[in-house]
Chain A
Amino acid sequence: MPKHVRRLILVLLGFGVLALTVRHFVVDRSFYRYGHYRADALAEIARDQPKFRGTAYCQSCHGAEYDAWAHSPHNRADGGGIVKCEVCHGPGAGRDPGHDYIHAATGPVHPQNLHLAVPTDTRALCSVCHEQIVGRPAQQRQIVIGDHAGAQQCSLCHDVHAPSRLKGAIAVASLAGSAAAGQRKSAACIACHGPAGVSAAGLLGPTLAGQNRAYLAAALAAYKSGARKNPIMLGVASSLSSTDIEDVASWFSSQKCAVAPGGAEQLAAARKAGAAMCANCHGANGVPRSDAWPSLLGQSGDYLKGALRSYASADRSHIVMSTLARGLDDAAIERVAAWYSTAACKRGREDE
């Protein structure tokens, strides 16, 4: 074999030996242990710190909110929904933008060095799940935002941790009084509020028939204390004891207006009148679906307008109504009042 061929073969062999040597030192020891990959990678990947910590982590410090949540519809697997804390508040450990994300062993952690977001735009957040959009299955509770909430935030009416708890709902604080006694004691009321509490055009006072008992009692108490300002009612309420107030309230609330809560058709009509948001609590035709809200049935347009304006001007104050009324302009107030004044209170068989 000629010298140059021998040397060529030596060079090639030398190159091969060099390549194998380099390979030996470069390839990771753990390669091929479990398969064609670097076995150490498994432990490295598993070492990343989880960011979402789970609800038990929140509970240890935020017990009150946790309890509210735990008993709410947002913690009901069979009801179709568990909305955990971190869904709205973000993960308990955050992104660390400055850190190499690969095997982020450290990063900001709440509460040590990470503020968790308290969402302020609940309207944007809640509607991510609850806005009625095409494709959402029917079992998901959905709303048309503009109809349901107008321009308002969800947190105006809903307790954010227990959303079925509505703010401003009337709580039944006291035992019912005697309706019979109330009838006797309310003789003087007829002059302004009409017979059996059904008001009419020309009378000073609103319809009281079928009104929410607790609402009536609270109103009388408020007039008596001066929290609600009305010279006539101040005089009337001052002469009533608390027993009297309960009796009178029971009497008027027992005078049911024989009108059922509005159905889908009336809801659609209410929507057209701009009263869709009101209907959430007060019903489509003014008859609310529950005792949590006062009835608007049989009220005159003037009375309703006056009421809304007093809320807007802070003459009357209510955790929800004040904000809602301030969000309505004059035209909207007119339309809403006009809608609710169309339904009249028909007295049931209890009258006469």
Chain B
Amino acid sequence: MAATASALLPDPGRAALPASPAAPAGDAAGKHQWAFGVDATKCIGCLRCVEACKAENEVALDAHHFRTWVERYVYVEGVDEPRIDSQSDPVNIAASGSEQHYRFANRYQEEKVEKAFFVPKLCNHCTHPACVQVCPTGATFKTADGVVLIDHTYCIGCQYCVQACPYGARFFDVENRVTEKCTWCYHRITRGLLPACVEVCPVGARVFGDRNDKQSPISRFLAENRVEVLKPETGNAPNVFYVGIDKDVR
């Protein structure tokens, strides 16, 4: 990222960023009710979302810390259980060539594959989040507009929330020594932008919006599809709604 003598370059002021809301976002109590949708029938496993999230949120560039990831399920003929891998599988890391960029390796070409698909995963921002329940300090919390956030200046780094999350969405940021997870790009959505992963998805597999707005993409997604959630038996009531997943999706 070398600085150039580009102070003379024009500043695209016309497309300037919307300002951060003047009032703290919590004042908009109940004004929005954010939710997320995933259409797994569309996902092509390009992993642009994973890379975009890492760029947008400055997540550690290695294969062990992800705010969002993609899983691939492959059903080989004659085998009941699917073969599951994600971008951090060593085979896929070898295909991408480094831990900082991600791609799925071209596997299973020699096998007779009956069915295969990709499933993007991220924090579900549950209505009854187990992680918030177990946080000893109140560093992680659910906002009035439905996002589960972490106060990085208050977290003590005990990692109890990492244990409590049934979905493996949380992790420990070794550099800042606090826990981290997907925030639905809170700094973007409060400016009227989309989360980075939704912004870059080329096939529209990720959907985001405000359930209070009946015309928002997510409201239409929920109205037009039969949706399900991951691990409903936990009682966490996730707010990421899936279309097109299978019985074996974990």
A residues neighboring B (CB under 8 Å): 28, 31, 33-54, 56-57, 59-61, 74, 77, 80-84, 86-87, 90-91, 94-96, 100-102, 104, 108, 111-115, 128-129, 131-137, 139-140
* Residues of A contacting B: mostly: loop
Cα–Cα distance between A115 and B9 once the two chains are bound (Å): 12
- Chain B residues touching A, majority SS: loop
Nearest CB on A from B225, distance (A): 16
Q: How far is it, in angstroms, between the C-alpha of A31 and the C-alpha of B142 when the chains are bound?
A: 14
Known contacts A34-B144, A46-B20, A113-B4; is A134 also within 8 Å of B151 by CB? no
Cα of A131 to Cα of B104 in the assembled complex, Å: 10
- CB-based contact B154/A38 at 8 Å: yes
Which residues of the partner chain A approach B29 to less than 8 Å between Cβ atoms?
34
The answer for the CA separation of A112 and B6 in the assembled complex, in Å, is: 5
Cα of A102 to Cα of B154 in the assembled complex, Å? 12
- Tell me the complex Cα distance, A345–B24, Å: 75
Residue of A nearest to B41 (CB): A137
Known A46-B187, A47-B187, A52-B199; judge A134-B56 contact (CB<8 A).
Answer: no
Residues of A within 8 A of B48 (CB): 87, 128-129
Closest B-chain residue to A88, C-beta based? Answer: B48
In the complex the two chains form, is A46's CB within 8 Å of B141's CB?
no
The reply to whether B12 and A57 form a contact with Cβ atoms under 8 Å apart is: yes
Chain B 1-23, CB-CB to A under 8 Å as 1, else 0, gives: 11110110111101101001101
B56–A91 touching, CB < 8 Å: yes
* Nearest B residue to A117, CB-CB: B1
| Contact between A90 and B12, CB atoms less than 8 A apart | no
Most buried by A among B21, B23, B52, B199: B199
* Contact present for A128 and B46 (CB under 8 Å): yes
Known: A45-B183, A46-B21, A49-B17. A133 touches B56 (CB 8 A): no
Within 8 Å by CB of A51, from B20, B56, B72, B108, lies B56
The reply to whether B191 and A61 contact each other, CB–CB distance below 8 Å, is: no
The chain A residue sitting closest to B197, CB to CB, is A52
Residue of B nearest to A55 (CB): B15
Q: Assuming A86-B52, A95-B1, what are 4 further A-B pairs, CB within 8 angstroms? A: A38-B153, A45-B186, A135-B72, A135-B104
A45 touches B149 (CB 8 A): yes
CA–CA, A83 and B44, complex, Å: 13
Question: Which residues on the A side are within 8 Å of B140 (C-beta)?
Answer: 37
Tell me which residues from 30 to 62 in chain B have a Cβ below 8 Å from any Cβ of chain A.
41-48, 52, 55-58
CA distance A4 to B185 in the complex (A): 59
Nearest residue (CB) in B for A132 is: B106
Most chain B CB atoms below 10 A, which of A42, A90, A111, A128: A42
Contacts of B109 in A (CB 8 A): 134
Task: State how many angstroms separate the Cβ of A272 from the closest Cβ of chain B.
Answer: 17
Q: Closest B-chain residue to A109, C-beta based?
A: B11
B-side contacts of A135, CB under 8 Å: 45, 72-74, 104, 116-118
Q: Given that A46-B187, A48-B187, A129-B46 are contacting pairs, would A54 and B193 also be in contact in the complex, using a CB cutoff of 8 Å?
A: yes
Q: Is B26 in contact with chain A by the CB < 8 A criterion?
A: yes
Choose one: A47, A59, A112; the contact of B15 (CB below 8 Å). Answer: A59
- Is B202 in contact with A82, judged by CB distance below 8 angstroms? yes
Could you say which of A28, A50, A74 has the most chain B C-beta atoms within 10 Å of its C-beta? A50
| Nearest neighbor of A112 in chain B, beta-carbon distance | B6
Q: Is A42 a contact of B52 with CB atoms below 8 Å? A: no
Contact of B153 among A39, A53, A102 (CB under 8 A): A102
Using Cβ atoms and an 8 Å threshold, which residues of chain B touch A102? 152-153, 176
Q: Given that A134-B107, A135-B72 are contacting pairs, would A80 and B203 also be in contact in the complex, using a CB cutoff of 8 Å? A: yes
Q: Contact at B3–A50, with CB atoms within 8 Å?
A: no
